[in-house]
Copies of this chain bind each other. A is one copy, B any other.
Amino acid sequence: MNEIEDLFPRGGENAAYAKYFLGKSYLNMLSLEGVVIGNVTFEPGCRNNWHVHHAKSGGGQILLCTAGYGWYQEWGKPARKLAPGDVVNIPAGVKHWHGAAKDSWFAHVAVEVPGEDCSNEWLEIVDDEQYEKLA
């Protein structure tokens, strides 16, 4: 199992969003002023459900990968393997998920892009059949 060294403090269990994740994740808010920024750490195999960041204008999320290995996938596209130093720009309106590789912890910083009337729509899980295919 690929352990990681935390760059930003891991924080506590991501209880507020646990119902939208398979597996255990940890959330530490790095900034609540100006731009909302959180550090998210996923245990091996942990991933969030398919979801969409909605906004009337602006919105979406930028991921800055800091440790371990993970995945990002947009609906209808092949999954992209993520490693430290990778950056993912997730536009508003795009159905996607992200999470750890099955054999590695994973951490990314999530930068919330400010927007008008922002909301998140949480959808179906990334089931084992989809997830086990990734390599």
Instruction: Mark A residues whose CB is within 8 Å of B.
Output: 6-9, 30-31, 33-35, 37, 58, 60, 62, 64, 66, 84-85, 87, 89, 91, 109, 111, 113-114
Q: Which of B60, B64, B66 contacts A30 (CB 8 A)?
A: B64
Work out how many copies of this chain go into the complex: 2
Measured CB to CB, the nearest residue on chain B to A62 is B31
Give the interface SS of chain A, mostly helix, strand, loop or mixed: loop
Please list 19 pairs of residues, one from A and one from B, whose beta carbons are closer than 8 Å in the complex, sorted by A's number: A6-B85, A7-B66, A7-B84, A9-B85, A30-B62, A30-B64, A30-B87, A31-B89, A31-B111, A33-B89, A34-B62, A35-B62, A35-B111, A37-B62, A64-B64, A64-B109, A66-B66, A109-B109, A111-B111
Q: What is the bound-complex CA distance between A66 and B37, given in angstroms?
A: 15
Q: Which of B6, B35, B66 contacts A35 (CB 8 A)?
A: B35
Q: How far is the CB of A17 from chain B (nearest CB, A)?
A: 21
Check A113–B35 contact: CB distance below 8 A: yes
